[in-house]
Structure 1
Amino acid sequence: MKLFKKICIGLTALLLAASPILTHITNFQTVEAARKSKGKITLFKNDYVYNQAGNKIKLNVNHSYRVPSDFAVSPTGYLITDMKSDDLGDHRSSQPYYGTKKINGQKFYDLGHNYYVNEANVLKVKGRNVAQGTLTIKRDALVYTEAGKATGKKLRTNSVVKYQGKAKAATKTPKYFYYLRDVARYLQPQSIPTYKIKGKYFYSLGHNRYINAANVGYINGHLVRYNGTSTATVLKNTNSITVNYSEAKRKLKKGQKIKLDLAVIPYLSDGFDNYLYRLHGHPDEYVDATEIKLQRDLPVIDYRDLVYTYVMPVTDNSVELYDTSGKAIGKRIMKPAYSNLTVDGLMYLWVPEENKAELFYHCLNYSDAS
């Protein structure tokens, strides 16, 4: 999923001489070609690009400009990385780096020409996974002892620290967890050990040092998710929608705080773009990810698992069909090759022959019904 949507990039060469920033950017590849790369880095998410002082680089979006390969521009005009990955995040592009630098106490990778990325977003260096065994801090976090006493130390946003314990697959979804792949139909939660201190969940850093799990954004380079409800702020006046994008009656106002409890991978017709989020307490209403600012990331479910499921015939490879009056219509539906029957509902129908109500599945239509 893209963190930012690209804005239109002009190609007008006449403006290059008028803007030092434009010359700075368009000369990127020529100047850096003379430097020797230390290798390549791969990011687990795209983010802002910084200068050597640790400031985000902002471009003048009122003019046309060119952006080097693997970079883009946020809607607010900041330069961002744009390394590509497939929808499942399995295959990501890499980019040369020319060394590292400490900026304001944090490690940055030099992408050349005074462009830097924070190590908090780096997954691999020279093909080696450097995020494994680490936590990435998403907001300033105090460090505590096992007794819940503050040590006086604080980890700043984007700090990367080692944790104690081993990651493993969870048999049931824990309070804090992550997926190895977010955009996949069947998802098995992964987790690392947590410790309850004064009613809150903490991760161990070793040596009697702990941080609140709520302040951690990534584990091993994977987004941390919260198994519960999350507050979100509505970014513009809108309406809630159904999972099929039909507008619902509930009006949501800009600045309104709402509760959400599930992230839904929508029907993938043209590649994955954004999640839909379910309104807590309103199981048939959703809001698009672009219309909210979410406080905590939530468990993921696939659209198909919300609208239908699969059943297997227990006798043979076909089942008899009935109408809504509970009478057999003389047709059977065949089990599709390599899969089971697809259904989207369960209901009671009165069966005259048995003089009682029985449960029936509502089967979706198949071309091989006969």
Structure 2
Amino acid sequence: MNKKITHYLAAGFLGLTAIWTFNQQSHTVQAKIPSTIRTVMYTSQAYDENGQKADAKYPAFRRIEVDKKPVILDFEPYAPYYRISGKKQFIKANNIDGVKRAVKHNSYVYATSSRRANYRLIRKGASITTYGGTVKFKNGLRYYRIGGPAKQYVRASNLGKITASNTEETVATVTRDGGAPIYEIKNGVKTAKKAKKGTTFIVDRAEENNYAEEIGHSAIPNPTIYRIKGTNNWLYCLDVKVQKLLPHHFYNFEHYSYIRFYQDTDVYNADGAKQDHKGQRIRKQGGNLKVDKLLYIWVPAENKAELFYHLKGHEFYASDLPGGGGPDSIDVGDGYVKASDVRFIAGVKLSPINTAEEAQQNAKPKTAK
């Protein structure tokens, strides 16, 4: 099912933290979502919207009803999933659509470890679709499932890396009179060249927000850009028509980490000293703030190591002074906030880059002076 939830992102800015809104596929059940009947090609564990295993599995070659448009759920590895229609269950699109892999060596098709499925020989250089992960046969070797409805397998060692996702690849045709700009994204956005009306491209990713908004100049809500396969060049949705809808990725959530301030929060320096802003702190706020590191810092005043997030922004909305009033914002410079004072909201989950013991050891020379 195509689901929507609004997220608010905030980042460092000139003057005050900039907040902008973008839509994310969420997990709210809606009525009359287009569905389709598909065949499960590989036994599929079902998951909930948070990536936790659901109490359901769907066996291979079973026909099931799923929402027509696949979605990217908000957890790593941000792969496409199909929602089981009428249920809060999702299965990997790879188990239905499969992915394409290059054939490195001439390969026979097997039904079991000792019996070929047919006399077919898949020659080196070809491309075939595989479903799901590998399975281990009695001979100790691993195989990928291909085809059906009978079980057919090709030895995994004879295949190369994934060359295309069948779920995330389609043809885009330029429909704009006068041609469509092709945008190159590399440390910003620039127009690489133009494509004539009627030109077709294979595209392999649909992206919303961030660069999509910059390219679209807010021409439409939730603009989408399509990546031309094998390049870092992109086409704007209003300039092309695609043969099928692709699941939408959200650049920010797949590349960055965000926290939220649910209370007025103190800021610390890298040496564990609390910053003094004359009684002001970062204000409780609804926006999501970008962070890029999670680490332990020794806090001398508490005589212990605490877990901290490193803030990407420098200037943030500020709480009032104890007596009221005060500047609307504070500049925290290279600031850190305790993980226990904030909440992780979305994006890439960070792991500590050190241990509490390492933070204590690193602080010893400084405290000994």
Q: Give the TM-score category using the shorter length.
A: 0.3 to 0.5
Greater share of strand residues, 1 or 2? 2
State TM-score, norm by structure 1.
Answer: 0.33
State TM-score, norm by structure 2.
Answer: 0.33
